[in-house]
Structure 1
Amino acid sequence: MADLLAAVAEFVADPPAANHSNPPFPQVLVPGSDHPSLEALAAAIRKNKPGLESLLDSSGAILFRGFPVKNAEDFATVVEAFGYKSMGYEAGAAARTYIVGPVFTANELPLEIRIGFHNEMAYLPDYPDVVMFFCEIAPPEGGETGIVQGRTVYDAMAREYPEFVRNLEEKGLVYYNFLAEDEWKEKFGTDDRSQAELKASKLSKKLQWLDDGRVKVYHGPRPAIKQLKENSKTWFNNIGSSDPTIPNLRHLEYGDGTPLPLDALKASLAFMNDHQVPHKWKPGDVMVVNNHAVLHSRHPSKPPRRLLVSMLKTS
């Protein structure tokens, strides 16, 4: 780790007090001078990009704290300094608003709703390599972003529920939801089923028409386990965003259409909750997350809370 930090010497490492992992998770970087500027931050990111990428591979998440990042335009400057390609959010399932450049709002579900652990857009064949978050307004209470390393989740679940994990690796996952007749007509902007199917396919979705007029909209099968660069395996899915205690809201199944075991689902959620690092936001925080290796969640909060996000491809 000392060698990696030497590669980003213009920053100062500031390990989070409540987290004693090695390497630190997240790795916290603060200004190396008393008077940091946005321009200097962007220049340091461009200069130290290989070292920062090594830190991101090693830790899974980097938190920039104490830099003068004030608004969406400033955040866009930080994002663009990394030189990655914004992939937008056209096929994504969450409610988001485009702001500027590579910047969108974070999930716009009401703040009192908990959003479970997930890898961003893991239900799609194309998903971000890196997700960046920016805190513009920190909530007065709650609203932490939980992060957990997928390797630890995989290792624990493979040890305690080997058949479940083996089925995930072999069969993958299907993610689905149901739309009433008026809902699918509004969503796809047509009352013609063939046109709806065409529009859905462009968003990597498939449609199954039901006798009662509803349609089952599904993604997959998608891999639920990924291989990382160092040949370790990681939990890579949106299982944590489901509620396995309410069958009608589960919205996922094995790739062959069979149901997932409820006990294993509950165990995976419990493990992620118990082993998360709940990041409490401060205004100006920028967190860079390796989307392949780290799952994130949102704790309920009191308003106001405003986080912005950018979803990026590294190549």
Structure 2
Amino acid sequence: MSAQFSRAGTVRRAFRSAAGPEAVTVEPLTADGTPPMVVRPKEAGTDLATWAAASKEWVCDTLLEHRALLFRGWPVADAAGFQRFVAAVSDGEPLQYRDRSTPRDEVSQNVYLSTTYPAAERIEPHNEGTYWSTWPQKLFFCCLTAPPVGGETPIIDNRKVIERIPVAVRERLERLGVRYVRNYNSGFGLTWQEGYQTDSREDVDRYAAANGTVTEWLEDDRLRTVQIRPAVRTHPVTGEKLWFNHAGFFHISSRDPQMREALVEALGEDGLPTTTTHGDGSPIADEDVRAINEAYRAGEIAFRWEVGDVMLLDNMTMAHARRPYEGDRKIVVAMTDPVSGGDAAQSGPAVAAEGGEA
């Protein structure tokens, strides 16, 4: 189905349906009509998961059209209710969160708290799993506790991000790809046991080999991994070229300057918890990273969370971030509908060659 529709056409088509979509209203959150589209029940108390089960095709079509949906005004009170909705509009089970870059607590099967990170700090825009060989197409958020101040989850359209990045920067990364290097058990960041959710080196090596990742075991139970991934991916349905990587997010220049200096002094450039280069190992210039980060920030769309809100994103199209907050905040997330880039098969030799130089 084409991704190019008019919003009015979508709504008219939905209300002629004999299933569940006639029970909702759909309107843009912002005056200029940019996503997310807000989907509300016409009748208070309508169960979101029950309605969605009768309306799955409509939900998926509307997501493809707009790439971000905000379900508001539904009585979603807990992780179990959220999980029922996730199951109703997904194909297969939610993805497990392995090869982690941040700590997350699992609140129910494959439903996680959003990233555990200091409330006073911002999390920069990113998409889930860009450095994995298989990543989620659908990404779900649910607000169980809304902070009194801040804590928004801005979303950013990657189709516009790629247009804002300077041509030379974009073409260089598209040609060379992104090389991700991570060091575990350095005293900073996650341990490899936390990142891979196992205490077995053999399990880590098996998982890594199956997913196009080179592992290098170092002294003191430290682990270094190297992955090479494309900077641009093709949407599996529409064929659009999308900016889909963590090139700027994991780059050392994206860190606070004082933190950057402390990490480099303590660990050296080769020992940083995370870093990125071009796929051939050449450095990504700090000014290129600034241009990438500015391209994301220029497109942020944010809203205040309300308790019971559920946001559904096309993960390949829409990046997300997190703003600082005060007070309590509880957002749970789930990832479904895996998409494979074939990196385990296609990138193995290149990754192995680079891994030997890391």
Preserved contact between residue 164 and residue 261 of structure 1 (Cα < 8 Å): no
SS of the residue corresponding to residue 145 of structure 1 reads coil
Structure 1 segment 1-315 matched on structure 2, within 5 A: 1-6=7-12, 7=14, 8-16=21-29, 18-21=30-33, 24-33=34-43, 35-38=44-47, 41-85=48-92, 86-157=94-165, 161-180=166-185, 189=199, 197-198=205-206, 200-201=208-209, 205-208=213-216, 215-218=223-226, 220-228=227-235, 229-242=237-250, 243-246=252-255, 248=264, 251-313=275-337
1:237-291 deviation digits (Å, cap 9, x = unpaired): 1235235255656711111111112212101211211211013201000000001
The Cα of 1:95 is off from its aligned counterpart by: 1.2
Counterparts of 1:294 and 1:92, CA distance in 2: 20
The Cα of 1:97 is off from its aligned counterpart by: 1.6
Preserved contact between residue 90 and residue 203 of structure 1 (Cα < 8 Å): no
Counterparts of 2:335 and 2:204, CA distance in 1: 27
> Cα gap change, 1:286/1:258 in structure 2, threshold over 3 Å: closer, same or farther?
same
Preserved contact between residue 135 and residue 338 of structure 2 (Cα < 8 Å): no
Show structure 1 runs of 5+ residues with no match: none
SS of the residue corresponding to residue 176 of structure 1 reads strand
Q: Which shows bigger deviation, 289-298 or 95-104?
A: 95-104
Give the number of equivalent residue pairs.
303
SS of the residue corresponding to residue 278 of structure 1 reads coil
Counterparts of 2:192 and 2:55, CA distance in 1: 49
> Cα gap change, 1:59/1:240 in structure 2, threshold over 3 Å: closer, same or farther?
farther
> Cα gap change, 1:165/1:47 in structure 2, threshold over 3 Å: closer, same or farther?
same
SS of the residue corresponding to residue 14 of structure 1 reads strand
Counterparts of 1:222 and 1:279, CA distance in 2: 32
> What amino acid does structure 2 have at the position aligned with 1:154?
I
Preserved contact between residue 91 and residue 204 of structure 1 (Cα < 8 Å): no
Preserved contact between residue 112 and residue 302 of structure 1 (Cα < 8 Å): yes
Counterparts of 1:295 and 1:274, CA distance in 2: 13
With normalisation by structure 2, the TM-score equals 0.76
SS of the residue corresponding to residue 128 of structure 1 reads strand
Q: Percent of aligned pairs with the same residue?
A: 26
> Cα gap change, 1:47/1:184 in structure 2, threshold over 3 Å: closer, same or farther?
closer
